[in-house]
Amino acid sequence: MAVNPVTPPVPQNSNLARAMYVWNPLATIDTDQHLQTLLNFCSANGANVIFIDFYSSLGGGNWTAARLARMQTALDNMHKSGIRVYALSGDVSFTYGQQWALKNLIQPFMKYQALAMSPTMRFDGWSFDIEYWTDANQQAAVACPQVCDFVRAVKKITGLPVGVFAAFYLKDSSGQRASFPYQGKTAQDGEFLMDNADFVVVGAYRNHAQDNGTDGPGQISLFQAWYDYAKQVGENLGLYCGSETQNQQPAYITYFGMTKAQMEAQHTLISTAFAPAGTIAAPIGSVFMGQAIDEYVSWSAMS
């Protein structure tokens, strides 16, 4: 079958964007039928930004002519459908193994970009998921600067925007998260990530927007400290509020088991909190981009 571009996605709640993680391209863009299904889903659900895993397709020793052709076909049709596409990868070792990451990710990425037969076949940037905070052997005061240095290196090499994923607790307003010195100031690691990345996906993982008496803060509260810092004059960094749809524990961190409509009702509350209509008296900047959903397979399985 032939792949056809779709009607450009329109993000819910008039948000600037609705991003979606695609972690297994070998099973989601490997055939024309799978690719068309992905495009149709994006159009129907407002996903106009895709973060698609690069390493499993074309990184390291995974490069093949067939996979190159599939990625080119995918990006060509995504862009013609009004969808921006960012290469995605992440591993805790990227903090201390930057030479490996540059060789196995960025070098093949630059080769891919150069081989593109059309601008529509090129990536729009990078999205990294380097969860050093999950590694007990790494300290934030060391690992976070390493991530920031890596982000700046990739931006210089590629000339493209680079974003990162961050757990919500890397930035808070209570001072519970420890601060450390870097780049001439002392702050929490979430703040440094915002200073150095072009956008941040804040993993405010809950299945409710507002606080409740059962499992604590909702997504709005978890996102608030990030938003307050990012909206400052001179910062104005783009932020996505991350939502999980995979089967994870504890159950309250994911929308798994709920319907799309139930999830969207919560997302509407988040959008109302961070992207109301602006006025001269109460201006609203461009900080809040929209939701970023992890991930395509589990989201598409929701009723």
DSSP E strands, 81-144: 84-89, 125-128
Residue 278: predicted pLDDT: 67
Residue 277 has pLDDT above 70, yes or no: no
Amino acid at 262: Q
Mean pLDDT is lowest, of 5-14, 70-79, 228-237, for: 228-237
Residue 258: per-residue pLDDT: 98
Please give the pLDDT value at position 1: 76
Spatial neighbors of 15 by CB under 8 A, at least 6 apart, are 271, 275, 288, 289, 290, 291
Give residue-wise pLDDT tens across range 88-131: 999 999 999 999 999 999 999 999 999 999 999 999 999 999 99
| pLDDT of 209 higher than 80 | yes
Q: Report CA Rg, the chain.
A: 19
* Bridge pairing between strands 185-187 and 180-182: antiparallel
Predicted confidence at residue 131, as pLDDT, reads 97
- Kindly state which CATH superfamily the domain 12-301 is placed in: Glycosidases (3.20.20.80)
Are 86 and 51 a contacting pair, CB within 8 Å? Answer: yes
pLDDT in tens, 254-266: 999 999 999 999 9
pLDDT for 233:
64
What gap in Å lies between CA 98 and CA 147, rounded to an integer? 9
For 218-245, what is the mean pLDDT? Answer: 92
Query: What b/e sequence results for 11-48 when a residue is b if at least 16 CB atoms lie within 10 Å of its CB, and e otherwise?
Result: bbbebebbbbbbbebeebbbeeebbbebbebbbebbbb
pTM for the model: 0.96
pLDDT number for residue 284: 73
- Compute the mean pLDDT over every residue in the chain, rounded to the nearest whole number: 95
Mean pLDDT of 221-235: 89
- Say what the pLDDT of residue 252 is: 96
pLDDT for 216: 84
Predicted local distance difference test score (pLDDT) of residue 75: 98
Q: ∠ CA 277-283-288 to the nearest 5 degrees?
A: 65
Percent of the chain's residues with pLDDT above 90: 91
pLDDT at res. 237: 87
Q: Which H or E element spans position 158?
A: helix 140-158
Contact partners, residue 190, CB within 8 Å, separation at least 6? 166, 170, 171, 172, 177, 200, 225, 226, 229
CA distance 266 to 256: 14
Q: Look-up: residue for tokens 């810092």?
A: 229
Distance CA 115, CA 84 (A): 19
Q: Which residue has the higher pLDDT, 214 or 121?
A: 121
pLDDT at site 106: 98
Could you read off the pLDDT of 164-201 as tens digits, one per residue? 999 999 999 888 999 999 999 999 999 999 999 999 99
Q: Where is pLDDT greater, at 234 or 241?
A: 241
Residue 159: its pLDDT value, please?
Answer: 98
CA 8, 47, 126, 232 torsion-angle sign: positive
